[in-house]
Amino acid sequence: MERAASSNMYDNWRNNTNDRYKDINWGKKVIGQFQSFEEILNSPIQDNNGNKSLLPDDLKFEDWNNDGIIDGKDVKPIGHGSNPSMYYGLNLSGQYKGFDLTIFFQGAAGHEVFTGGDFMDPFIQQGLGNGITLWLDRWHREDPADMSSAWIPGYMPALRPTGYQANRTNNTWTMQKATYLRLKTLELGYSFPKEWIGKAGIENLRIYVNSFNPLTFTGREGVIKYMDPENSEGALRYYPQMKTFNFGVNLSF
DSSP 147: T
Q: What's the rounded mean pLDDT across residues 14-28?
A: 89
Q: Classify burial at 196, counting beta carbons within 10 Å of its beta carbon; exposed 0-12, middle 13-18, buried 19 or more.
A: exposed
Q: Are 243 and 214 in contact (CB under 8 A)?
A: yes
Q: Is 154 or 102 the better-scoring residue by pLDDT?
A: 102
What torsion, rounded to 10 degrees, do the Cα atoms 49, 55, 58, 64 define? 40
DSSP 240: P
| pLDDT 10s digits, 155-174 | 888 877 666 778 888 999 88
| pLDDT 10s digits, 183-235 | 999 999 999 998 888 778 888 999 999 999 999 888 766 556 667 777 766 55
Report the b/e string of 107-140 with b at 16+ CB within 10 A.
Answer: bbeebbbbbbbbbbbbebeeeebeeeebbeebbb
CA 182 remoteness from chain centre: 15
DSSP 235: T
Residue extents of the structural domains in the chain: 82-253
Question: What local confidence, expressed as pLDDT, does residue 130 receive?
Answer: 53
Using 50, 70 and 90 to split pLDDT, how confident is the model at 122? Answer: low
β-partners of residue 100 are 95, 189
Give the count of alpha carbons within 13 A of 98, CB side only: 12
Q: Is 115 or 150 the better-scoring residue by pLDDT?
A: 150
Question: What local confidence, expressed as pLDDT, does residue 44 receive?
Answer: 96
| pLDDT 10s digits, 61-92 | 999 999 999 999 999 999 998 889 999 999 99
CA 74 remoteness from chain centre: 24
Residue 7 has pLDDT above 90, yes or no: yes
CA–CA gap between residue 21 and residue 10 (Å, rounded): 17
Q: What's the rounded mean pLDDT across residues 22-46?
A: 93
- Rg for the chain (alpha carbons), in Å? 26
Q: Are 181 and 216 in contact (CB under 8 A)?
A: yes
Question: What local confidence, expressed as pLDDT, does residue 123 receive?
Answer: 60
Question: What local confidence, expressed as pLDDT, does residue 125 receive?
Answer: 54
